Chains A and B, each alone.
Chain A
Amino acid sequence: MQAPQAIPPTHGFWNLPTDAAAHGHALDTHLLLNLWIALALLALAHLILLLGLAIRKRTHRPYHQLLIEYLPLAALTLLFAFLALRAQQLWATQRYTGADLSAMQVEVTGQQFIWYFRYPGPDAAFGRTKLSLVAPDNANPLGIDLSDTYSRDDIVTSQLVLPANREVDLTLRAQDVIHGFAIPEMRIKQNAIPGQITHIHFTPDTPGDYAILCTQVCGMGHYRMLATLRVLPLADFNTWLHTEEALQARDESQP
């Protein structure tokens, strides 16, 4: 396993964490472009402000000058239109359509103050859950209804393990209050809402261990509602998955 502590968690002037998702590069490029433009505009505006104050000779200034009123505005409008357009392209690519049908399915459930991850098992289908069946002490924190045949092979973990270079479709749910599911290194964030299902899809492309954070205040333990995403090379992932499936099958066979 890679040791993420060995490399610094953030890098560069803008202090971004490493990017380990397929869409991350385009997002970072756009973010950095925005940040540099913002810095340049900030410097320019302050330069004009200070220069205007520093001029020793009082100059005559008309109160209306169409050129000065509207020309910089037009330039800024064009600049922002360009940035907005580019941002919408990226947004559309990521959000306008769902995940590919062949994407791997994982369900994420947030509850105060823990994340659970459920894999559908060999039958590739999630079983039914009921809030009334939730029993964390009885190894059923998600309330999986075992009378549903799809439920039998579902695997529940507290760590999100994913194969590299395969698209994953996360189904987000919350049991109690709103939680925010975020993986900074994967450049994704999406709220999990009680009574509602939301989706987010992405493709991890660099094996490693990454932080999963809760980003929507959810109660006193909000700061420790953390988990780990472990991205494995495909072969390692398959080994892990088969082990988990075997364990699940053994548990099922026992009365």
Chain B
Amino acid sequence: MSLPTPPSMRNHQGAPSSRGLIALRWARRAPRVLFSTNHRTIGFGYLAISLIAVIIGALLSLVMRVHLAWPNWPLPIYGAILPEDYLAFVTMHGTLMLFFVLTVAPQSGFGNLILPAQLGARHMAFPRLNALGLYLTAVALLTLLAAFFVPGGAPIGGWTAYPPLSSTPLAGPGQGFGMDLWLSSIAFFAIATTLNAINTLTTITTLRCEGLTWQRLPLTVWGWFTAAMLSIISFSVLLAAILLLFCDRHLHSGFFLPAQDLVNGVLLQHRGDGSPLLWLHLFWFFGHPEVYIAILPGMGLTSMVLANFSRRRVFAYRLMIATTLLIGFLGIIVWGHHMFVAGLNPFAGTAFSISTIAIAIPAAAKVFSWLATTWGSRPRLTTPMLFALGFVSLFITGGITGPILAQPILDEYLHNTFFVVAHFHLIMAMAGVFGLFCATYYWAPLLFHRTLSEPLGKLHFWTTLLGAYSTFLPMHFTGLAAEPRHYSQLNGIAGPSASLLQSTLPLQRHITASAIFLLCAQLPFFLNLLLAWRRPANNPTDTNPWHATTMEWAPNALNPHPNDQPSIVYRGPSHYTDSGTEFYPQWSDVNTFNTEAE
């Protein structure tokens, strides 16, 4: 395959200009980058936001872990960590990670970078709406981080912000201006995500190129599609709930508050007699689909990457499309499983329990497809493939405790213990992040015009996998010993509660050590990204180093020339010969390509 070098790629190979001019060139380029409506620029903007959020969020978790294991250790410069500081860190860690990392990076970041190319389209449907979404997300992040610096600090109620703790400054430090900033931030974020979801849905429904039928869409697109639908449904409800809570805070309304409430010795009267349970319903109606928004794109990518490196079609492709949609649908009718012991009618507990356990069926179908796709395929164990396999492993380990927590009688014991922390960190945080790493290594040739270093990538994978399991598996056991979440301290307390809490300390110390190891394991990744900066670009004629079959790898898919013919898709994704030696890309009408050519 010999192709003319696209103009943009030529620039990357040009001789470096003198250092003094680089700053000037950046200053000249900055406005064009900042106000760009190009989906790739916007995608990189989203990834930059996620990168900032993930670094801050991870450092916060590090401080929390060290404090839990060694409570007397003062944070350098900052000083002693007070209980309210610990809870503020918990809140900010959860908010940053869930919203600004796990929602932004897979859906908005990689969605913008890869989705149009995968559809054979040249741009997203609404470029200016897209840019607006990015600005709002950036404003949301700045608003959120500002909460650290206002009097009282960041809110202490966790990312779930249950009222009345979240409805009055009297309830604790951080619940004043810090809470207002938190609510504003999430309101901006909800609008931004909804705009982005509308853009994603419209792009997928209207801009698919000729021949790209629904059944030929890669499963990544199905993941983005389902996540976008969930975003529209759930974030609008969250926005409404936040506006109501704002009224409760500042206009003495009582949507989520009883007529009278005695907080910190002050009797608060509200116009109306509401219930905090209403907030729980609205919040979790958003909160549970949010988890699927974070993980569905990763599930789709895992299917595609496993098929790519196993050189096979995805096993039971149509069933995988159906299960993606089914997981999305079931995701909106299970929110009550967060409320089994919150004062919900016990019959409702039974109903939500059944709908929740039902999710295990489509989720298990996905696991079977992954196992069957890789079984006996002698796959190429490249770094992206390893991360996809890691995703499968963590998805199984984190998911297997889901049906346990879905049984109300067992949740009664396990609710809000570290067992739950282990569950959602493995399936959502770790599997989600493995999905992001997989995406970065897999799509690196499209993002940076370079493949990342394989030895560094493999080092990154094995240490991260070990760190993830070593950190989160023991949490099941402290949870089974009944250790509750959100406790800033486990020792120095008297009575039988003390011996119960203190008994978990040795395991807690192990978890903290593992968490430090897990964080250090990310250094090879950053080193890899930095080194990629210095590496020579891939040969521009080799646009498809992984021998992938989906449209984003077609020649010129990322930099379509205005004079290019419109793309045409001839078949579904991941078509390989039985031996795996030849593959049939979606964009090619006749030719097959040998995977062992070069």
Within the complex, which residue of A55, A87, A132, A227 is in contact with B407, where a contact is CB–CB below 8 Å? A87
Chain A contacts of B495 at CB under 8 A? Answer: 209, 211, 226-228
Judge whether B400 is part of the interface by a CB distance below 8 angstroms.
yes
Stretch in B29-37, B96-104, B271-279, B562-570 touching the partner: B271-279
Judge whether B106 is part of the interface by a CB distance below 8 angstroms.
no
Q: How many residue pairs at the A-B interface have CB separations less than 8 Å?
A: 307
In the assembly, what is the distance between CA of A66 and CA of B157, in Å?
49
In the assembly, what is the distance between CA of A61 and CA of B381, in Å?
19
Contact indicator A84/B316 (Cβ below 8 Å):
no
Contact indicator A76/B353 (Cβ below 8 Å):
no
Within the complex, which residue of A14, A83, A213 is in contact with B497, where a contact is CB–CB below 8 Å? A213
Chain A contacts of B156 at CB under 8 A? Answer: 217, 219-220
Contact indicator B375/A176 (Cβ below 8 Å):
no
In the assembly, what is the distance between CA of A242 and CA of B304, in Å?
72
Chain A contacts of B80 at CB under 8 A? Answer: none
Contact indicator A15/B480 (Cβ below 8 Å):
yes
In the assembly, what is the distance between CA of A196 and CA of B312, in Å?
58
Rounded to whole Å, the gap between the CB of A51 and the closest CB of chain B is 8
**What is the size, in residues, of chain A's interface with B at 8 Å between Cβ atoms?**
93
Chain A contacts of B498 at CB under 8 A? Answer: 226
Interface centre among A57, A61, A182 (most CB of B within 10 A): A61
Within the complex, which residue of B90, B367, B482 is in contact with A45, where a contact is CB–CB below 8 Å? B367
Contact indicator A177/B165 (Cβ below 8 Å):
yes
Within the complex, which residue of A61, A176, A191 is in contact with B342, where a contact is CB–CB below 8 Å? A191
- With contacts A34-B404, A178-B162, A191-B342 taken as known, whether A63 is within 8 angstroms of B371 at the C-beta atoms is no
Judge whether B108 is part of the interface by a CB distance below 8 angstroms.
no
Count class of interface residues, chain B:
35 or more
Rounded to whole Å, the gap between the CB of B449 and the closest CB of chain A is 31
CB within 8 Å of B: which of A180-218?
A: 180, 182, 184, 187-191, 193-196, 198, 209-218
Judge whether B41 is part of the interface by a CB distance below 8 angstroms.
no
Type the 1/0 row for B369-390, where 1 means its CB is closer than 8 Å to any CB of A.
Answer: 0111111111101000000010
Rounded to whole Å, the gap between the CB of B282 and the closest CB of chain A is 15
In the assembly, what is the distance between CA of A227 and CA of B262, in Å?
21
CB within 8 Å of A: which of B65-92?
A: 82-84, 87, 90
Contact indicator B407/A73 (Cβ below 8 Å):
no
Judge whether A246 is part of the interface by a CB distance below 8 angstroms.
no
In the assembly, what is the distance between CA of A17 and CA of B480, in Å?
8
Contact indicator A177/B164 (Cβ below 8 Å):
yes
In the assembly, what is the distance between CA of A187 and CA of B5, in Å?
68
Interface centre among A48, A143, A227 (most CB of B within 10 A): A48
Chain B residue with the shortest CB-CB distance to A210: B496
- With contacts A15-B480, A220-B83, A220-B87 taken as known, whether A52 is within 8 angstroms of B350 at the C-beta atoms is no
In the assembly, what is the distance between CA of A211 and CA of B374, in Å?
49
Contact indicator B171/A194 (Cβ below 8 Å):
no
Judge whether A255 is part of the interface by a CB distance below 8 angstroms.
no
Contact indicator A48/B416 (Cβ below 8 Å):
no
Chain A contacts of B413 at CB under 8 A? Answer: 27, 31, 184, 187, 189
- With contacts A69-B316, A96-B346, A187-B413 taken as known, whether A49 is within 8 angstroms of B477 at the C-beta atoms is no
Rounded to whole Å, the gap between the CB of B266 and the closest CB of chain A is 10
Judge whether B409 is part of the interface by a CB distance below 8 angstroms.
yes
Judge whether B454 is part of the interface by a CB distance below 8 angstroms.
no
Judge whether B267 is part of the interface by a CB distance below 8 angstroms.
yes
Contact indicator A55/B378 (Cβ below 8 Å):
yes
Rounded to whole Å, the gap between the CB of B396 and the closest CB of chain A is 5
Contact indicator A63/B480 (Cβ below 8 Å):
no
**Per DSSP, are chain A's interface residues mostly helix, strand or loop, or mixed?**
mixed
Contact indicator A189/B403 (Cβ below 8 Å):
no
Contact indicator B410/A226 (Cβ below 8 Å):
no
Contact indicator A177/B171 (Cβ below 8 Å):
yes
Contact indicator B343/A198 (Cβ below 8 Å):
yes
Contact indicator A9/B481 (Cβ below 8 Å):
yes
Contact indicator B367/A80 (Cβ below 8 Å):
no
In the assembly, what is the distance between CA of A44 and CA of B480, in Å?
23
Rounded to whole Å, the gap between the CB of A22 and the closest CB of chain B is 14
Contact indicator B87/A84 (Cβ below 8 Å):
no
Contact indicator B262/A42 (Cβ below 8 Å):
no
Contact indicator B376/A46 (Cβ below 8 Å):
no
Contact indicator A27/B410 (Cβ below 8 Å):
yes
Type the 1/0 row for B187-210, where 1 means its CB is closer than 8 Å to any CB of A.
Answer: 000000000000000000000000
Chain A contacts of B393 at CB under 8 A? Answer: 46, 49
In the assembly, what is the distance between CA of A214 and CA of B553, in Å?
54
Contact indicator B376/A57 (Cβ below 8 Å):
yes
Contact indicator B371/A45 (Cβ below 8 Å):
yes
- With contacts A48-B375, A52-B374 taken as known, whether A193 is within 8 angstroms of B404 at the C-beta atoms is no
Chain B contacts of A180 at CB under 8 A? Answer: 341, 415-416, 484
Chain A residue with the shortest CB-CB distance to B158: A217
In the assembly, what is the distance between CA of A41 and CA of B314, in Å?
23
Contact indicator B396/A46 (Cβ below 8 Å):
yes
Judge whether B592 is part of the interface by a CB distance below 8 angstroms.
no
Chain B contacts of A216 at CB under 8 A? Answer: 162, 416
Rounded to whole Å, the gap between the CB of A118 and the closest CB of chain B is 16
Chain A contacts of B346 at CB under 8 A? Answer: 91-92, 95-96
Type the 1/0 row for A227-252, where 1 means its CB is closer than 8 Å to any CB of B.
Answer: 11000000000000000000000000
Within the complex, which residue of B277, B315, B377, B496 is in contact with A209, where a contact is CB–CB below 8 Å? B496
- With contacts A10-B503, A211-B496 taken as known, whether A176 is within 8 angstroms of B487 at the C-beta atoms is no
Judge whether B537 is part of the interface by a CB distance below 8 angstroms.
no
A–B Cβ pairs within 8 angstroms, 13 of them: A27-B409, A35-B480, A38-B403, A52-B376, A53-B374, A68-B372, A73-B365, A180-B415, A214-B484, A217-B486, A223-B490, A223-B493, A226-B493
The 9 lowest CB-CB distance pairs between A and B, nearest first, are: A195-B258, A184-B482, A87-B407, A52-B375, A211-B497, A95-B346, A59-B376, A226-B497, A220-B84
Tell me the A residues contacting B by CB distance below 8 Å.
4-5, 8-10, 14-17, 27, 30-31, 34-35, 38, 41-42, 45-46, 48-49, 51-53, 55-61, 63-65, 68-69, 72-73, 76-77, 80, 83-84, 87-88, 90-92, 94-96, 111-112, 131-132, 134, 143, 175-178, 180, 182, 184, 187-191, 193-196, 198, 209-224, 226-228
| Known pairs A10-B480, A49-B393, A68-B368 / 18 extra A-B pairs, C-beta < 8 Å | A10-B481, A10-B500, A17-B482, A53-B389, A68-B315, A69-B315, A69-B368, A80-B361, A88-B408, A131-B260, A131-B267, A178-B342, A196-B275, A218-B165, A219-B172, A220-B82, A220-B84, A226-B498
